[in-house]
Chain A
């Protein structure tokens, strides 16, 4: 079955450490997105990619970085510059950027700073 795989499901980060969250899709979707969800809040866009080898900052990109070297993969790195990284991170994809299609979400990664 096609879908989005995020790993790991749970991640613990020490202060000053960079960590990378994996997102892989086999849906052949062009566009991919990273969202952050905090308790009781909606989803806030971190980065998005319209197509391979292209990505743009979202609303809360500070302290995060991404790459899109392959269509299937859109990893997110949470750097030590992100001062409050504890959150639920969701990766999503859509068939084509700019077209009115629903997003498919991965099952998420819960990141905790220890």
Chain B
């Protein structure tokens, strides 16, 4: 069945280092969404990418959507302790685009 996979599952970085998480889909996606879940919290929508090769930035966060629309990445420059949490990518289910399928998430720990 359709799958969305994220790597790595966990990442520990020193504050100030960069961080990247990768998302790969088994099928072509019409769009991809990214969410952040703080420890003990709930997922919060960050951004959506729609176009092939699209790149969007939010301050220190850079999001990319692959040319084939089957992969995506989130890059954080100069991490801060406020970046701690789990980052999920999600894409619409083929033939049922109102439903999202979520990756397993990448949990980021930042050491001050």
Chain B residues whose C-beta falls within 8 Å of the C-beta of A41 in the assembled complex:
104-105
Select A58's contact among B48, B50, B99, B103, beta carbons within 8 Å: B99
Secondary structure call for the A interface: loop
Please tell me if B33 contacts chain A, counting CB pairs below 8 Å: yes
A43 to chain B: which residues have CB within 8 Å?
Answer: 43, 88, 102
Contact of A42 among B30, B45, B88 (CB under 8 A): B88
Known: A50-B98, A102-B48. A90 touches B43 (CB 8 A): yes
Q: Is A52 an interface residue (CB 8 A)?
A: no
Which of the four size classes fits the interface of chain A? 20 to 34
**Total A-B residue contacts, Cβ distance less than 8 Å:** 54
Minimum CB–CB distance from A27 to chain B (whole Å) comes to 12
Provide the main secondary structure of the chain B interface: strand
Q: How large is the interface on B (under 10, 10 to 19, 20 to 34, 35 or more residues)?
A: 20 to 34
Q: A42-B88, A45-B99, A50-B98 are in contact. Are A100 and B104 (CB under 8 A)?
A: no
Residue B100 CB within 8 A of the other chain:
yes
Cα–Cα, bound, A101→B97 (Å) = 11
Q: What residues of chain A have their CB less than 8 Å away from a CB belonging to chain B?
A: 31, 33, 35, 40-43, 45, 48, 50, 58, 90, 92, 94, 97-108
Closest 10 CB pairs of A and B: A102-B45, A97-B98, A98-B98, A42-B104, A42-B102, A43-B102, A105-B42, A100-B31, A105-B43, A108-B42
User: Chain B: residues with CB nearer than 8 A to chain A?
Assistant: 9, 30-31, 33, 35, 41-45, 48, 50, 88, 92, 97-105
